[in-house]
Structure formats: structure tokens, C-alpha cells
A and B are shown apart, each in its own frame.
Chain A
Amino acid sequence: MAWVRFRKKDMPGGLWTKCPSCEETIFSKELSENFQVCPKCSHHLTCTVDERVRYTLDEGSFEELYTELKPVDRLDFRDKTSYAEKLEKTAEKVKRLEAMTIGTGTLHGREVVLGVMNFQFLGGSMGVVVGEKVTLAVEIAMERRLPLVLVCASGGARMHEGALSLMQMAKTCAALGRFADAGGLYLAVLTNPTTGGVTASFATMADVIIGEPGALIGFAGPRVIQNTIKQELPEGFQRSEFLLARGQIDRIVSRPQLKDQLFLLMEFLAPTSDEARPVSELLAAASRSTNGHSPTEGAEAAEGAGADDGAKNRLPEESGDEETPKKKRPRKKAKKNGKA
């Protein structure tokens, strides 16, 4: 029902990258260090799974799970080429077996389950394995009582797996239903583009839905809509800003701020302590203990929660906290990883 063509110029790689929005030529390494956000116009370019993990979690904390799950061509699907062949080629090119990567890691010291979709793998489409990995991520989060963060990017359900793909919508939603009933926290980040069966299932069933600036988010793709209604689509249609104005998402958060915002939401909704402590303190403490990916710049970015600019300059003694969140992790009450 929905698809979006992936533009070559959006793809990271090469020594220099041209911003698809303002056409500024940027040194690719600099762009990667800047969260794949154009320094000139703030356009959010597509980032790789590895980059996304790096931008979201503490350095080196990600432990990927279920990497071995590999899609199967159950239908013997064949269009111009066979699906089996397409899978092989894509896996080789993208260096991953599927469009979904899941695992655990820490985010400013807090353990979380993270799932990242990869639009470069057959348009991030959801077949059996993507659905399975989403479900497994939900189950791990539930078992270990961890917050779940899913970063979505998808053209929808995968056609090559037919109705099996469609059923993944039910599988993932059913798992999320249980997770919600158990009080689990699920934060979704919808990136460019998130459409079709993914939007119509797990992506929109989060406790808090965050859109990346300018991301295309919708049920049907714009071309399908245009072909159906035969009229021009309004300016900015289906972009994050459009959806925010119509009450469909909770927030728009730019990529450099995302890690801190996720942390902040977790501290509000699944706090590590009874007492509400200033987030700047928590971030400073996390930065000391993890020495990770620049949590300091986040302190500035964490708008709306008393983020103070002093946080990054404050000395450890001044913050006066007695323990670091990394050591606490009190949400892990029942860690029943039941070794076989």
C-alpha cells in the first residue's frame, strides 16, 4: 500500500556528501559526527544502523541479539528476479541478514532494548523475520523489565512474503499489548520514511511517539494517495511537522537531542529512583560513569526539563549525587534470563 523510493543522494557514504535539501557539500566524516544532520540546513539524512546505535547508546554497550535470523522465501516468490536471490544480494550489499537489528545496551547508563530498522534492506519492509525480531525485542524488554526503544524506517509489509508479512502486524501488536499490560515502557522513533504496515502496527503503538524532523510518516504513500484522489497534496503532507499539528505524534526531536530526550522520558515514565532529580545531575553522573558518546551536549539539548547549561561544566563534587545510574539499574527487579 505504501512505498517510497529511496534516493541515491540520501545514502551516506563516499568522502563527500551533498545535502539533498540545501545541496551543501559536506565532508562525510564530519556529517557522520554531526549525527548525519546537515550543519547548514539541519536536514536529517539517512543514517546507517551502526550510526544509529552509536548515536543512541553508550559507546560499546550494544550487544546485538538474534543476528542469525535469516529470512526464508516461503512463497517461492518471483517477480523479475526471485526473492531468494534478492535477499542474498541485499544481504551482501547491506552486510546484514535482515532489515531489523535488535539488542541491548545502555543509554546514559540505563539498560534498554533497542531495535533499529534499516531502510536500505528492501525498503525496511517487514517480513517474518522483521516481525519476529520486533516481537523478540518486546519479549526481552518484558522479561528483563527494560524500556524498549524502536527506531522505525519502513516502506511497509514485505510483499515477497505475502500474507505471512501481513500477520506480522498482528504478532507485533499482540506482543506490545502484553508488554503494555505489564507496565512496560515503549518509545518509538519514527524516521524517514515510516509507512504502510509498520505504521499500521507496532510503530504507532508506543507510549510516546517521536518523529524525526521532516520524516515522512503515514499509512499510504503519497503517490498512492495522489493516484487515488487525483489532486495535489498539501504542502508538507505526511511530514512529522504536519502530523504533530494534527495530533498524531507526541514530539519532534532532532537527532542530536534524541538520546537525551529518550533518557528524559525514561526518567519520567520508568524512573530509576523515587525522588525526581534534576536531569542535568543524572546526565552528568552518567557522563562520568560511562564516558560515552557525549552526553554533555545533550544536557543543553534536553529542553523542557530544566536542562541547565552549567551541567557540562559542573564538577563531579558539585552535583552531589551519591550513586550513578549505571550501578543502580533498579528496574531490573526480576532478571530471569533463565539460562538453558
Chain B
Amino acid sequence: MAERKPDPLQSALDFERPIVELEQKILDLEELAEQTHMDLTNEVRPLKELRDKLLAQIFESLTPWQRVRLARHPLRPITGDYLDLIFEDVVELHGDKLYSDDRAIMTALARLGDERVMLIAHRKGKTTEERLATNWGCAHPEGYRKALQKMKLAEKFGVPLVTLINTPGAYPGIGAEERGQAAAIARNILEMSKLRVPVVSCVIGEGGSGGALGIGVCDRLLMLEYSYYSVISPEGCAAILWKDGEKAEAAATALKITSRDLDALGLIDEVVPEPLGGAHRDRFRTAISLRDRILFNIKELKKLPVDRLVESRYERYRWVGDGDELIRAVREAKERGGRPAPTPPAGGDEADGEGKAEGEGGG
């Protein structure tokens, strides 16, 4: 993928603008210094200090919504960047062998450091053309079926899986529904829970709901610092619960979707730190951290006998969120070998004929 130089100010998010503006000034001064052979170090230094201070200040207190916007940043590194930066000897394998080749999910054999892996990754684009081709990272059923077919291939030959998650969600369209979007995702989830090879997943940008989970059932779940993972997009949630799509900011907070929130809930294994200011400010360093953390986890998982690997993945999801007292109680009862005492039904006829229930859900 050719490197393009978009205008940084144009792609800057509102809260990034002061930083980017300062940087423009610094660049201008440095250019001037070069052209005129004047020593402007004393002029540039305070500006740089100010920038660093601003960066630290702004990024220290990011709101969840700001983090969501960073995850969607037009300059944020995407699968194509990581392919250039950390994956080598890439052999892309196309097609679901059933219907077509969905470009929103790429599947490839690749070398990561000293590990052979099967890479399964959502793909987005940087130009309008690329975005169209990859459907903005929104896969159709054939994308999920392609992924499954390659997972099975990897399993057969004992190749660990690396999945990179970056999708606003699975595509909601007529064709997708006709060809069984829901069942394709469900099938992937079910089969991934049983794969007899290590699976390491990382959310690198947007972790949009079922569309993310469709390639995200794993032994280790990592998240880049400024990525998000949610049951529904903040906009979608706002539209349903607040009846106002503009309340996405509030929804982003309520849904607890940042890497920190999910870490606190015990739903992820690691937050992969990003450079100050976000992955797009230093894609190389981001890529290296990502590579190192994935490699570390693959190596750890490879030490486990396969049966234990599969068993612990099962347990991981069986008791997910067992910070929950309720789940813990069920678990303890089960582990004691106890069966639940039959309880009398809560009783009553539930129809009252006047409720206006609303379907509330994501997926």
C-alpha cells in the first residue's frame, strides 16, 4: 500500500488541533532555519516543550468518546500498515470457496518474528477507493466464512491464529441477510471456541459487536490502548436508548467500551500501550509493541498441551465476567457437583396488556 501524505491539519480531530497547529509552526520554523541557515533552536525548543505538555495534558484526560474517535482516526494504522511493518513472507489466501472473496476480511499465511501464523484481519482503506473495496471494514457472511475456512486450514496444520479486529460491525444489508450473516458469525464463534491451535486476537481500532466477535473468540484478547470494543456502536445505542443519535458521547461512556474499562471488567488480557498521542503519531513503534505482545502470547500458549489450551478457552468463556457474584455462585454450585434445587416459578401471568416494551439490543 503506497504511503500517502494527507494534510495533517485536515485529518486532525478537534481535540488534536492545538497540537497539530503547533507542529505546523515547528515545521515551518525548522524549514526556515534550514533555508536561511539561521539558528532557531531557541525559538523551536519552547514550542516543542509546549507541544509535549499539551499532548500529555490532552491525552491524560481523554473521554471515552474521544477514544472512540481516535480508534476511527483517518490516519490510524490499519491492517495494511501492520502488513507492511511487522508481517513478512505474506501469502494471502482468498475466498470462502462458496460464494466470493470478501475484501473486508483478509486472510493470509505470514511470518511474525520467528512464528508462522495464519493472519485473519478486518481490512479498511485509506483512500475512497480502498474504503469502497473493503466496504469500510464491514464484512459480509462470505467474509466470515472465508475466515472460518482459513481457520480450519490453520488448525489442520497446527498454525497459530492471529486475528486483528477493526470493524464498525458486520454489514447490515439485504444480501448479507439473505446469505445468513447471523448464522455465519454464530458458526465462527462456535468453531473458534473449539480450535485446536492457539488464537491471539487484538482489537486495533474498532471492535464493533458481533462483527468483531466473529473473528474474535480467542485464548488471549489484546487491545491497543485507543481502540474500543462494544456490543453496539455508541451512535446505535444512543439512537435506541436516548432516542437521539447525537447522544453518542453519553452512550460511549455508559457502555464502558475503552480498553481501560474492559480491562477493569476483566474481559481482556492486555492493553497494548500506544505512543503518546495515539498510534498514528508513531505507527512504527505501535507496530513493534503489537508484534512483541502477540509473539509473547503465542509462545506462552504454545507451551500448553492442546487439550488444555482448548479446555481453558472453554472455561474462559464459560465463566466470563465471573466478577459477577451471580455467576460465581452458579460456578461454585456446579463445582461442588450440586444441582440447582428446583425453585417454584416466579409465577403470575406476565401479560398486562399495556406495556410498551422496546426491543433493545445489539449484536
Contacts from A to B (Cβ < 8 Å)? 1-6, 8, 11-14, 48-50, 63-70, 72, 74-75, 77-80, 90, 93-97, 118-126, 128-129, 132, 135-136, 154-171, 173-178, 181, 193, 195-205, 218-221, 224-225, 228-229, 233-234, 237-238, 246-248, 337-340
Contacts and interface: CB of A to CB of B under 8 A. Distances in A.
B360 A72 contact: no
By CB atoms of chain B within 10 A, which of A14, A125, A174 has the most?
A: A174
Interface in B317-344: 317-318, 320-321, 323-327, 330, 333, 336-340, 342-344
Nearest to A77: B254
B172 A224 contact: yes
Contacts of A65: 340, 342-343
Contacts of A200: 170, 181-183, 185-186, 189, 210, 214, 363
Interface stretch (B66-74, B124-132, B237-245): B237-245
Given A165-B362, A203-B186, A219-B182, 17 more contacts: A3-B360, A11-B353, A50-B350, A64-B342, A67-B346, A79-B250, A94-B350, A159-B232, A159-B360, A166-B210, A166-B229, A166-B231, A171-B320, A174-B194, A195-B182, A219-B170, A338-B339
B318 A175 contact: yes
Contacts of A64: 342-345
Contacts of B230: 162-163, 166
By CB atoms of chain B within 10 A, which of A72, A173, A248 has the most?
A: A173
15 contacts: A3-B240, A6-B359, A48-B349, A48-B351, A67-B344, A95-B346, A154-B361, A158-B231, A169-B213, A174-B190, A174-B193, A200-B185, A219-B210, A220-B176, A248-B178
Interface in B19-36: none
Contacts, number: 337
A170 B262 CA distance: 16
Contacts of A160: 360
Given A93-B355, A170-B317, A156 B327 contact: no
Interface string B234-256: 00110011100000001100111
A5 B359 contact: yes
6 nearest CB pairs, A to B: A156-B361, A13-B353, A197-B363, A155-B359, A196-B363, A123-B359
Nearest to B170: A219
Nearest to A75: B256
Nearest to A202: B186
A337 B339 contact: yes
Contacts of A167: 267, 317, 320-321
A200 B180 CA distance: 9
A181 B250 CA distance: 43
Interface in B178-220: 178-183, 185-187, 189-191, 193-194, 209-210, 213-214, 217
A164 B172 contact: no
B182 to A, nearest CB: 4
B38 interface: no
Contacts of A202: 186
B352 A229 contact: no
Contact of A95 (B344, B350, B358): B350
A163 B359 contact: no
B6 interface: no
A164 B353 contact: no
B209 A49 contact: no
B185 A219 contact: yes
A183 to B, nearest CB: 15
B221 to A, nearest CB: 10
A69 to B, nearest CB: 6
B361 A125 contact: yes
B265 interface: yes
A164 B267 contact: yes
Contact of A219 (B177, B229, B265, B356): B177
A31 to B, nearest CB: 12
Contacts of B170: 1, 200, 219-220
A233 B175 CA distance: 11
A196 B240 CA distance: 14
A13 B351 contact: yes
A340 B179 CA distance: 47
Nearest to B173: A229
Nearest to B348: A95
Contact of A159 (B176, B339, B361): B361
B355 A163 contact: no
A66 B360 contact: no
Contacts of A11: 351, 353-355
A80 B241 contact: yes
B82 interface: no
A97 to B, nearest CB: 6
B190 A225 contact: no
B257 interface: yes
B174 interface: yes
Nearest to A67: B343
A170 B213 contact: yes
A74 B324 contact: yes
Contact of B172 (A1, A122, A157, A246): A1
B338 A338 contact: yes
A224 B168 CA distance: 13
Contacts of B237: 159
Contacts of B362: 1-2, 156-159, 165-166, 196-197
B210 A121 contact: no
Contacts of B321: 74, 128, 164, 167
